[in-house]
Homo-oligomer: A and B are copies of this chain.
Amino acid sequence: MAQTSTPEEPARPAPNPRRRSERARRAILAAAGELLGEVGYARLTMEAIASRARVGKQTIYRWWPTKAAVVFDVFTEMTGGAAGDPLPDTGDLDADLRTVLHAIVEEYADPLMDRINRVFIAEVQTDPELAENVMELLLRPNLRAFRDRLLSAREAGLIDAGTDPDLAVDLLLAPVQQRWLMRSGELTHAYVDALVDTVMRALRPRG
């Protein structure tokens, strides 16, 4: 790593542009996440994000063309991976589904994640363009990842050959999302374990 020194200051590492970029990127995403929870998507501005992150507005535009693009990355960052990451495939379908659904339960239990997710759900209802972006960039890739895992299980003979993979994905995900969204019941690991057991009973190969 390059070193620099002046008579006035002790030697210290020179600014590393890559590291500084990464710091700015993280500050912007953190600021956007906070502001989204505080003021909602409609009133979120690039100016406010820049000010909170202590960067110039142009720094944001260098990486993200729109505030929607920033917000998608906030989500991606918080969920710990790009939308549509493949599900684990250990060969044990039930265990793999439990692993992923437990992670979703933890995500919904996080207060900031909860707040931001709710803001997002609210905005999507009244902003059809944002709704389409969310579908295309977040939801469909995630549904597809579940679908792919179920298709590989169907090929392996773990679920019935007649299984409709889209319906199967709905059965696994919708109850979890619905409980979170409507606060209609407890969302625990025990609940999703029972969910996986019950759904798999419907999907197992039929004689």
Copy tally for this chain in the complex stands at: 2
A174: chain B residues within 8 A (beta carbon): 170, 174-175, 177-179
Chain B residue, CB-CB nearest to A127: B122
Scan A175-196; emit 1 where CB is below 8 A from any B CB, else 0.
1011101111100000100110
Q: Is A199 an interface residue (CB 8 A)?
A: yes
Task: Tell me the interface secondary structure of chain A in the complex.
Answer: helix
Partner of A183, one of B131, B173, B179, B195: B131
The smallest C-beta distance from A109 to any residue of chain B, in angstroms, reads 17
Q: Is A171 an interface residue (CB 8 A)?
A: yes
Alpha-carbon distance between A207 and B145 when the two chains are bound, in angstroms = 34
Alpha-carbon distance between A195 and B199 when the two chains are bound, in angstroms = 11
What are 5 contact pairs spanning A and B, CB under 8 A? A122-B123, A166-B185, A167-B198, A168-B198, A173-B178
Which residues of A does B touch, CB under 8 Å? Answer: 40, 118-119, 121-126, 131, 135, 139-140, 143, 164, 166-168, 170-171, 173-175, 177-179, 181-185, 191, 194-195, 198-199, 201-203
